[in-house]
Amino acid sequence: MRNHPSPRFHLPSSILLLALAAPLASIGLAAEPHHSPHAKFRPPAMTEARFTGGFWGHRFDLVHKDTLGALESGMRCASNGCLLSNFELVGKEGARHQGNNWSDGDVYKWIESMARVYALTKDPALDQKMDEWIAKVAKTQADDGYIGTQTQFNPEKKRWGMRNYHELYNMGHLLTAGAVHYQATGKTTLLDVATKCADYLYRTFQPRPKELAHFGWNPSNIMGLADLYRATGDRRYLELAGIFVDMRGSQPWPKAGVWGGDPVGAQDPTPGDQTQDRVALRKETEAVGHAVTGAYLYAGAADVVAETGEAALLKALTRIWDDIDGRKMYLTGGTGAYHNGLSIRHDRVHEAYGTAFDLPTRTAYNETCANIGHAKFSRRLLAITGEARHGDIMERVLFNSMLSANSLDGKRFFYTNPLERRRDVPLLRQDAAERWPVWQCFCCPPSIARTIAGLNEWAWGIADDAIWLHLYGTGTLNSSIGGHPVRIEQKSDYPWNGDIAITVTEAPATPFALKLRVPAWANGAALKVNGQPADTAPKPGAYAEIRRAWKAGDAVELALPMEPVVVEAHPIVEHTRNQVAVMRGPLVYCLESADLPEGIDIDDVLLPVNAKWQAAHVPDLLGGVTVLETDGIALPGTSATPDLYRPARSGAAKRFRLRLVPYYAWCNRGPGDMSVWIPAAR
């Protein structure tokens, strides 16, 4: 089989020359906010925005006070898949790495989480703890910049011996953590480790050796290189990020559907589509394979687009995002249908996107990291395009399939996030009856922590002549626009209440636009400025723009209707045919057996499609949630038979009071039955 050369990553000539020279920005200036030239806005710098209370403010506090400590305790437990002790092996004769190949990356995510919390709290204990572990990381790094305890402390494993050693996954998270730690603290201790590692990667991969064409398995390295470029101004890192994008699908695999051939190692279990490596990204037509490696690849490629403006790559990413959004995404924003299966080109896949409209509920995988990865991908496309639909999905994930993985006390976690659970059905791979503090694969807990800790940067966007507001809650923005200070406060009880109050407390004399995301579900939204209706009515699924010369004290009121909506899936989704689900605002709701009257089983319940709902906030339930209640229908009970098929039920149904709770809060009252989708009564 002949190898065809693939297109190399091309920077504009002026940038390419700079890539070979010294970094554009000195380290001393690198903490200044970076505005990607092909993005509509930049995120706030780490301390320019914060949630000061409300829903996300409370969860930030949980990460600070409880989750970070729970992560450390978990990573000190010998049975956990990720162990801090792997960074304490230098100088110990015969010491061997323990845990998963990707363990290092999860430690780096923990350090990143601490850095994000430290940036907003200046907690000296976190600063001290980061210094302690960064010193151990630096001591572990090889002289040439390579770092990977899974190979350095395992004589059976050699550098770049197999893709699933996860070297690039680990290093990518190191690069991001190094950039974040520097921006949070001003210290270069971890940044120095990261740049030394990135320089090693540049020397190794920039020449494009064919034997490394199929590395790496899970490409956090692309996002990490973009983060490092934005922190340092060294354009070699942007160049290398583009090279890693180009590598996917650049060298042929054996014929699709042939399981035996393997050009990167006889034991590699995941050729081709599993890691989005069968087809070059610019030619790909849909999302395939592992839903984390896919999301990381797509998000990293979007980072490259934000810096280079490449139209062909953006077109491909938009096509893939549309495929996920329109054919492969769960109502909760989850994006991994398959525990195990086959791709569209018949490669074996696991933890993977399904085929179009194949969305099983009880066996849905929806790995937490994949869900968060899709939110990251959506966030990046939002910045590039300014299209509210990407912000809607970003928010959908955050409130549902990301948050469902974390217990209400912030200390326990789910790996998979199914939309249905039955106590008498065996659990599948990575499923759990309850959230856990330690697990054989610990990648999801630090992913949750760093995401929640950084949501202050997700909430706002800053452009030369506009301030964008993407996520609602209670918090502040203290930044600048056109070189002049601007301070804006938002206050709301979102997502329980749709009334958002925004106050401009400081503004420049020159006009600028305030752009507010109006979710697609917000039919009938209303907008007022200083008590008077805005000139333009807000349109669902778009940003409402108010452009004016603002002054201190100006008030904006955005009212988003919060009526419960009964939804159904496309009829091709056979798993949910003749079933319905309920949403209120950004929240998906579910039925739990804990809320059913005695004698009624979850499989007895029908939900009228024209139900009349009552919403009530219950402060002492599940940490304080708004529940939905209506008159449900209970069918006659089923006989206790083990038969696969049995006579249809007959007899009179009865009415009962049906209660639904937010999906993110399920399984916080012990194991039980749960379902998002409920058979419909029409």
pLDDT of residue 12: 38
pLDDT tens string 155-181: 999 999 988 899 999 999 999 999 999
Mean pLDDT lowest among 57-61, 168-172, 608-612, 638-642: 638-642
Q: Is the pLDDT of residue 2 over 50?
A: no
Per-residue CA distances from 132 to 88, 128, 183 (Å): 11, 6, 18
Q: What is the mean pLDDT of residues 553-567?
A: 98
* H helices, E strands: number in the chain: 16, 23
Same domain, 422 and 290: yes
- pLDDT score, position 488: 98
Q: Which of 526, 559, 592 is the last residue of a domain?
A: 559
Average of per-residue pLDDT values in the chain: 93
In the numeric block, the tokens 């697990």 are attached to 439
Q: Would you place residue 271 in the very low, low, confident or very high pLDDT band (cuts 50, 70, 90)?
A: confident
pLDDT for the residue numbered 15: 37
Intra-chain end-to-end CA distance of the chain, in Å: 59
pLDDT > 80? residue 31: no
Looking at the fold, whether 423 and 299 belong to one and the same domain comes out as yes
How confident is the model at residue 641, as a pLDDT? 79
Residue whose structure tokens are 């009071």: 657
Q: What is the pLDDT of residue 11?
A: 46
pLDDT of 259: 46
> Burial code of 159-185, b = ≥16 C-beta within 10 A, e = fewer?
ebebbbbbbbbbbbbbbbbbbbbbbbb
CATH number at residue 328: 1.50.10.20
pLDDT over threshold 50, residue 14: no
Q: Does 94 reside within a domain?
A: yes
Distance CA 668, CA 325 (A): 29
Residue 238 CA, chain-centre distance (Å), reads: 22
- Same-domain status, 367 and 469: no
Give the residue-averaged pLDDT of 219-236.
98
CA pair distance 100, 149, nearest whole angstrom:
10
Rounded Cα distance, 279 and 252, in Å: 9
The answer to whether residue 445 is domain-embedded is no
Residue 530 is predicted with a pLDDT of: 98
In a domain, 364, yes or no: yes
Task: Name the token pair of 485.
Answer: 């200070």
Say if residues 392 and 520 touch (Cβ distance below 8 Å): yes
Do 226 and 348 reside in the same domain of the chain?
no
Encode pLDDT of 357-397 as tens digits.
999 999 999 999 999 999 999 999 999 999 999 999 999 99
Q: Which residue has the tokens 């050729």?
A: 271
Tell me what percent of the residues of the chain surpass a pLDDT of 70.
Answer: 93
Same domain for 317 and 337, yes or no, is: yes
Instruction: Indicate whether 521 pLDDT > 80.
Output: yes
Q: pLDDT by residue (tens digit) across 524-554?
A: 999 999 999 999 899 999 999 999 999 999 9
Residue 467: exposed, middle, or buried by beta-carbon count in 10 A (0-12, 13-18, 19+)? buried
User: How far is 344 from 323, CA to CA, in rounded Å?
Assistant: 13
Over 80: is that where the pLDDT of 48 sits? yes
DSSP 42: B
Q: Are residues 302 and 419 in the same domain?
A: yes
Structure-derived torsion over alpha carbons of residues 302, 444, 152, 215, reported in degrees to the nearest 10: -30
Q: Within 10 A of 385 (CB to CB), how many other CB atoms are there?
A: 15
Residue found by looking up tokens 């993407």 in the block: 470
> Which two tokens mark 119?
């940036």
Residue 347's contacts (CB-CB under 8 Å, 6 or more residues apart) are 256, 257, 270, 271, 272, 273, 274, 278, 289
Cα 102 to Cα 171, 306, 340, 364: the distances in Å are 10, 28, 20, 23
What does the block give as tokens for 60? Answer: 């930030």
Among 529, 559, 589, the domain-final residue is 559
Angle among Cα 282, 288, 293 to the nearest 5 degrees reads 85
Q: Are residues 237 and 289 in the same domain?
A: no
CA separation for the pair 446, 423 (Å, rounded): 28
| In contact, 171 and 145? CB cutoff 8 Å | no
Nearest CA-CA partner of 247 in 270, 216, 272, 223? 216
pLDDT of 235 > 50? The answer is: yes
Does 45 map to a domain?
Answer: no
Q: Could you give the CA distance from residue 238 to residue 240 in angstroms, rounded to a whole number?
A: 5
End residue of a domain, out of 559, 583, 614: 559
- The answer on pLDDT for 262 being more than 60 is no
How many separate domains does the chain show? 4
Please determine, for residue 602, whether its predicted confidence score (pLDDT) is greater than 60. yes
pLDDT of res. 261: 45
In a domain, 51, yes or no: no
The secondary structure of 442-480, three-state, reads CCHHHHHHHHHHCHHHHHEEECCCEEEECCCCEEEEEEE
CATH of the domain at 554: 2.60.40
Query: Do 89 and 148 lie in a common domain?
Result: yes
Amino acid at 95: A
Q: pLDDT category, 637, cuts 50, 70, 90?
A: confident
Closest CA to 460 of 67, 110, 45, 163: 45
Q: Please state which of the ranges 11-20, 271-280, 307-316, 613-622 shows the lowest mean pLDDT.
A: 11-20
Using only C-alpha atoms, what is the Rg of the chain?
25
Are 196 and 284 found together in one domain?
A: no
Residue 679 has pLDDT above 90, yes or no: yes
Strand partners, 664: none
The three-state secondary structure class of 192 is helix
Same domain, 63 and 173: yes
Between strands 512-518 and 466-469, the pairing is: parallel
Question: Is residue 1 over pLDDT 80?
Answer: no
Q: Where are the beta strands (DSSP E) in 158-266?
A: none
Q: pTM above the 0.85 mark? A: yes
Percent of the chain having pLDDT more than 90?
Answer: 87
Q: Between the CA of residue 632 and those of 162, 405, 576, 678, what are the distances in Å?
A: 54, 28, 18, 11
Six-digit token string for 114:
């601490």
| Domain of 603, in residue numbers | 565-681
- Is 442 inside any structural domain? no
Domain membership flag for residue 40: no
Q: Distances in Å between the alpha carbon of 298 and those of 75, 173, 494, 682?
A: 29, 16, 30, 41
E strand or H helix that includes residue 632: strand 625-634
Please state, in angstroms and rounded to a whole number, the distance separating the CA atoms of residues 334 and 351.
12
In this predicted structure, the answer to whether residue 203 has a pLDDT above a threshold of 60 is yes
Token readout for 495 is: 């997502």
Residues 6+ apart with CB under 8 A from 183: 30, 31, 45, 46, 115, 119, 231
Do 555 and 569 share a domain, yes or no?
no
Evaluate whether residue 67 is within a structural domain: yes
CB burial of residue 362 (10 Å; 0-12, 13-18, 19+):
middle
Looking at residue 318, its pLDDT comes to 98
Q: Is 539 helix (H, G, I), strand (E, B) or coil?
A: coil
518 and 383 co-located in one domain: no
DSSP-assigned letter for residue 402: I
